[in-house]
Amino acid sequence: MSGLFTYTVRVILACLLCAHFLVNVALAASNESDIALPDDLDVLLGTAAPAKNIFSGYIKNETAYRYDEPRSFTKIRNILYLNWQYIFSDKAKFYSSGFGYYDHVYDLFDYDTIAARNVRDEKEPLVFLEQLKKEKDDKRVEPKELYLDLFFNNLDIRIGRQYVVWGVLEGIRIVDEINPMDFRELITPELLDYRIPLWTFKANYYSKKTTYEFIWIPELKFHQAAAPGSEWELIQIIPSTTFPENYNPKFSELGLKITRDIFDAEVAFSYFYTWDDYPTTFRVISIQDVTSTEPTQNLPIFPTYTRMHMFGATLTKEIRGDILKAEFAYVKDKYFAIVDQYTDGFLDFDGDVQRDHIRWGVGYDFSFWGADISPAIAQWFILDYQNHILSDEFDTTFNLFIRKPLLKQSAVFTLLFIRLINFEETYVKPRVTFNLTDHFQVTAGGDIFIGRRTAFGRQADSAAAGGLVTPDQRAHFIGNFNENNRVSMEFKYNF
């Protein structure tokens, strides 16, 4: 705890020094001295006027039932979520939020049935199933946001644990790579529920027509994998993974975004010096004589997190009541896995190759028959592509979000549709939310996964010679959960 306390103190002191520097820069840049800093700290924090305490939150039950074999309730989760705002004045505000939950499903049903591991891994050797960990995601308490806002005439500063969203296309990560994702339930939660907040210093400086946003992130966190052995397990961090040092200034992430209105459109340009949230699985390959009778040794794997540069741009423009949205990113120095072998019999580049790539996406929000409809298409493509790279040269995704109020029933219907075109995978998330009172909501819905599963290495097959078979090597995402289709109910009380 002493180490964590020391890190926290360092972060807060560094953020305050940055705040002091930016305030002075803003003062120097303002010819009219329009940023008036009060001499009395009590006035800045609002103690000269009555402060306000605002508490809010919700209590929610989430229940899910998998209707694929083995059929089972997979979640009976009771959640308490709390928000607290302390408004010192119109110049300063403190905000915090956090949640805790307990999942009763593990008290009522067998773990292996809930995880469906015997069905999901039926082609794997029995010893593989027996060695899988059994980690229950049955209880969790976690703070979310915790930050202080300071407001001046043309400068806003936010210091603390927070989300920073730079993208304009919902549910598509092109420019929006600042906060890592929590895959404990894959992509089924709401957007903010699967983002991971980070300790961040953020400053927004407003000139007449342009906004400058600077972020400094000393805390390093990466994508959170689902619990080992659970129904959502896909990837795990292995013990040999190399992590950059947390709260070390030279490993910090830095970003700058400039936003300006151009021809009645909001245009932003950004730069983000970041870490890839997926580790690069570097491998050490030893050359072996093909005539040798000695057995081939296992490949040493050294997953390591690597740096990337992201240059981005976004556009938002209203067109006759509709909204056109677009994002573009040029990503430099990302590593991509390779799978094919050269003719000399060993893998080059230690198992990964470094390439620049481009991401782009376009969306259009419009209304039709009383429904809000938001289709979007996004694509990655790798520059200087070579056939031995595991990823496709072009990777295309289509998203569709529909929101339709049902006025007579005081309800709202929503539908999220995601199609990974290259992988031939689909995720469908229908929901109907009934607003029974101003505080109480009931939601019914489902999660449907369509596609094939990942296949690497060799799989068990009693009919094959030696009991093993080598399938077509392929990597998939949504298709790995094609037997996790479920229906769900939510009961939520807001206070």
Q: What is the pLDDT of residues 119-131, one digit of tens each?
A: 776 666 655 556 6
pLDDT at 466: 56
Residue located via tokens 């007449």: 208
Q: Is 331 exposed, middle or buried (0-12, 13-18, 19+ CB in 10 A)?
A: buried
DSSP for 29-73, please give it.
H-TT------SSHHHHHTTTS--EEEEEEEEEEEEEEE-SSSPEE
Q: pLDDT at residue 46 above 90?
A: no
Does residue 387 lie within any of the structural domains?
A: no
- The tokens for 274 are 């970041």
Least Cα distance to 26 among 211, 219, 222, 243 occurs for 211
4 pLDDT tier (thresholds 50, 70, 90): very low
List the domain range (segments joined by +) for residue 131: 2-356
Does residue 273 lie within any of the structural domains?
A: yes
For the segment 253-304, what is each residue's pLDDT rounded down to a tens digit? 999 999 999 999 999 999 999 999 988 876 554 444 444 455 444 555 678 8
Q: pLDDT at residue 148 above 90?
A: yes
Does residue 170 lie within any of the structural domains?
A: yes
Domains: count for the chain:
1
33 pLDDT tier (thresholds 50, 70, 90): very low
Q: Mean pLDDT across the stretch 474-486?
A: 88
Does residue 95 lie within any of the structural domains?
A: yes
SS (H, E, C) 353-372: EEEEEEEEEEEEEEEECCEE
pLDDT at 34: 44
pTM over 0.85: no
For the segment 240-258, what is each residue's pLDDT rounded down to a tens digit? 788 999 999 999 999 999 9
Does residue 471 lie within any of the structural domains?
A: no
pLDDT at 352: 79
Average pLDDT score over the chain: 83
Does residue 210 lie within any of the structural domains?
A: yes
Does residue 433 lie within any of the structural domains?
A: no
28: three-class secondary structure by DSSP: helix
Does residue 416 lie within any of the structural domains?
A: no
Q: Mean pLDDT across the stretch 333-348?
A: 62
Distance CA 51, CA 71 (A): 53
